[in-house]
Amino acid sequence: MTEAVTIEARNAVKAFGQGDHVVRALDDVSIQIRKGEFFTLLGPSGCGKTTLLRLIAGFEMPTSGTILLDGADITDLPPNRRPVNTVFQSYALFPHLTVAENVGFGLTMQGRPKAEVKARVDQMLALVKLEPMAGRKTSQLSGGQQQRVALARALAPQPKVLLLDEPLSALDLKLRKEMQVELKRLQTETGITFIFVTHDQEEALTMSDRIGVMSAGKLQQVGSPKEIYTRPVNRFVASFIGETNFLPATVVPGGVKLSTGDVVEVATAAQGTVTLTVRPEQVRIVGAGEAGAIAARVKFNVYFGTDTHCHMALADGTEVVARVQSPASGEAGVVEGTDVGIRFAPGAAQVLED
Amino acid sequence: MSAAEDRLTRQSARNGWLLSAPALVLLMVAAIGPLVIIIIYSFLTPGQYGNVVWDFSLDGWVSILFTRDIFDGTLGLADAHLTIFWRSVSLSIMTTVVAFALGFPTAWFIATRPARQRAMWLFLITIPFWTNLLIRTFAIMEVIRAEGVLNTALLWAGIIETPLAIIYTDVAVLIGMAYVYLPLMVLPLFAAIDRFDMRLLEAGYDLYASRWQVLRRVILPIVKPGIVAGSILVFIPSLGAYVTPRVLGGGKNMMIGNFIELQFLAGRNWPLGAALSVTLLVIVTAALLIYVRAANRGSNPHG
Ligand SMILES: Nc1ncnc2c1ncn2[C@@H]1O[C@H](COP(=O)(O)OP(=O)(O)O)[C@@H](O)[C@H]1O
Ligand SMILES: [Mg+2]
């Protein structure tokens, strides 16, 4: 390992409830988060993202397993003794304090001198561009401004790790895009490790250095956005992130044989029945009967502006979607009902074990 | 604005006054009327067998703080009266503090129960109100008297050797008043805590506050309207309390309420009683003004 690990969870299990109603919100999760990276926990609602964040923040004790910070076991430390701060989904700003007092709260509680608190608060307000609002009550701010206050408040004590639980989900689309850029900027400028939670795969892909994909309390895959997108380790990851085609296949020497009988050259160590996955943009449409192409028939096209999704059926009815550039005006493009051939871009197809 | 509109506005304003007339009349008769009578009586001369003689006199007011020497007629400070005032104010403040110390955890407990159980707990809190105040006060007496429940239990447990002499002391009055007025503290506190966003607790802990700091810096400032309301609701009736100090104080530890009663009945000095009543009103008003102002300043250090 070359890069320093800031937060680590080892075999973290968190079970809620008793008897017959036990929910394993986290099921043996081990994860290492590197110093200074923008790490995103991605997964559908209820998969345990918040629970993992709460274990790291200290609001929740793991049923078993340990949480480490810079190599030291912090599993039993209460939240106020962990150099970790949270941006809450509801913001949870203190309604009785002004913007500046909110931002300075953590520093004051740490017992920093007044002058230092003031200097740091000014600096943080400048960072999130809220200096004119310093004296306002938080109830007088818009949603986006409250969000910035929450960020400034959590960043002010210079935590080792900043936890963000779906901080953008309450914002409308435009503000959301703005805040995505803003968050990325803040992370770069402060150099603080961010652990960001979202169920939005596009948000995860655009913002993160690395992504951890979760499902049903388990960590499915950890990797860079590109790795996650191009080399999903299982069907869940492949389908949750982006769109993809799944083709039933069996392993044969040198590749896999599709249900149509066509053989696709692909490297795999798997055996027996597998699933071949390939992203729509990696599917090339060629002339019918071209050597090595798989025969297909165009069923219908869905127009997306720059791109068009071309839905096709293979000889045995298996559906395949190709994403092609929309034809220039005047050109016909791929006409519905015609026979075509398809090829997969070299290295694009991937075998998933069932 | 046109003349017609102007007339309409005036007319609706007049109608508004007319509509609120019954309430205003009631207010005059029920609140201001008696107050005016009391103020007038305080400037009259006591009659032989109670009542008043319609001769102007300041004696009622003077004797609040001073007594006339029976031999040479010089005025001296009435220590006994000052003691009663002081006891009333200090016991009322202590009652408010004790009611808060017991009422806050109680209100917090109720507000953090599941919604279905809350109604039940609030209902239990109000049960003492179902019984007459006198009976409740005698019940407290039964608990704290020398052979009462409390002493018997403590003796039996071996914590004390001789019974605690609580009854007929200021402590007895304090216990009684705190018990009687506790619900008045709990209910507004509950209303405030019920509105409190519990997620702020985690925000506080997350930002390095200890449990005590979260209480001091987050919870108390936010539920302060409830604290102010509860304190006022407990302090005012405490200051004018009459039954509780009479029964548990045993007649010798008087509070203003008892002292006023004494003037109107046994003392046959209605002007003094009236002047004392007005004084009580002034003390309450002054205490409230000071308290509310202090509470507001606390919440707004920059303004
Ligand atoms: N305090 C709790 N008590 C009982 N079950 C809980 C509690 N917190 C979370 N869960 C359950 O744990 C699972 C994971 O929840 P959560 O971590 O909030 O998911 P996510 O944030 O990914 O949506 C869910 O099934 C949820 O119902
Ligand atoms: Mg969540």
For the stretch B88-136, pLDDT in tens is 999 999 999 999 999 999 999 999 999 999 999 999 988 888 888 899 9
What pLDDT was estimated at residue B303? 35
Q: Do A92 and B197 touch (CB under 8 A)?
A: yes
Query: What's the distance, Cα to Cα, between the start and end of chain B in Å?
Result: 39
| Amino acid identity at B65 | L
Q: Are B250 and B243 in contact (CB under 8 A)?
A: no
DSSP 8-state class, residue A314: E
Which of B198, B208, B212 is most worth mutating to test chain A (most A CB atoms within 10 A of its CB)? B208
Tokens at residue B106, please?
Answer: 């109680």
Residues B74, B69: Cα–Cα separation, whole Å: 5
- What's the pLDDT band for B10 if we cut at 50, 70, 90? confident
For A175-219, the pLDDT digits (tens) are 889 889 989 999 999 999 999 999 999 999 999 999 999 999 999
Count CB atoms within 10 A of the CB of residue B101: 11
CB contacts under 8 A, B 99-158 vs A, are: none
Question: Shortest CB distance from B202 goes to which of A59, A105, A154?
Answer: A59
What pLDDT was estimated at residue A111? 95
- B199 interfaces chain A, CB cutoff of 8 Å: yes
Cα angle vertex B109, ends B103, B114, to 5°? 145
What pLDDT was estimated at residue B299? 56
- Three-state SS at A339: strand
For B156-168, the pLDDT digits (tens) are 998 888 888 888 9
Helix and strand element counts for chain B (H, E): 15, 4
**Is the Cα dihedral B111, B116, B120, B122 positive or negative?**
positive
Ligand found nearest the CA of A47: 1
For residues B163, B166, B168 and B171, what is the CA-based torsion angle, rounded to 10 degrees? 170
Candidates B130, B207, B143; CA nearest to B176 is B143
Q: Are A11 and A28 in contact (CB under 8 A)?
A: yes
Output the residue whose Cα is nearest ligand 1's atom 13: A25
Asked if residue A212 has its Cβ within 6 Å of ligand 1, the reply is no
Distance (Å) from the C-alpha of residue A156 to the closest C-alpha of chain B? 10
Q: Do B199 and A105 touch (CB under 8 A)?
A: no
Q: Do A96 and B222 touch (CB under 8 A)?
A: yes
Q: Which of A30-44, A148-162, A322-336, B262-276 has the lowest mean pLDDT?
A: A322-336
Output the residue whose Cα is nearest ligand 1's atom 3: A16
Q: Do B302 and A86 touch (CB under 8 A)?
A: no
Question: Shortest CB distance from B207 goes to which of A59, A96, A106?
Answer: A106
Which of B196, B200, B202, B207 is most worth mutating to test chain A (most A CB atoms within 10 A of its CB)? B207
Query: What's the distance, Cα to Cα, between the start and end of chain A in Å?
Result: 31
- Mutating to test ligand 1, I would choose from A50, A55, A59, A240 the residue with most ligand atoms within 8 A of its C-beta, which is A50
What pLDDT was estimated at residue B296? 80
Q: Are B187 and B121 in contact (CB under 8 A)?
A: no
User: For the domain B78-299, what is the CATH code?
Assistant: 1.10.3720.10
What kind and span of H or E run contains B242? Answer: none
Asked if the model's pLDDT at residue B301 lies above 50, the reply is no
For residues B159, B160, B165 and B170, what is the CA-based torsion angle, rounded to 10 degrees? -40
Cα angle vertex A334, ends A332, A335, to 5°? 80
Q: Are A57 and A82 in contact (CB under 8 A)?
A: yes
Percent of chain A residues past pLDDT 70, beyond the cut? 98
What kind and span of H or E run contains B122? Answer: helix B115-126
Output the residue whose Cα is nearest ligand 1's atom 2: A16
Q: Give A335 or A200, the one with higher predicted confidence.
A: A200
- Three-state SS at A166: coil
- A139 interfaces chain B, CB cutoff of 8 Å: no
- A167 interfaces chain B, CB cutoff of 8 Å: no
Residues A131, A229: Cα–Cα separation, whole Å: 40
For A274-304, the pLDDT digits (tens) are 999 999 999 999 888 888 889 999 999 998 8
Contacts A137 to B, Cβ<8 Å: none
- B222 interfaces chain A, CB cutoff of 8 Å: yes
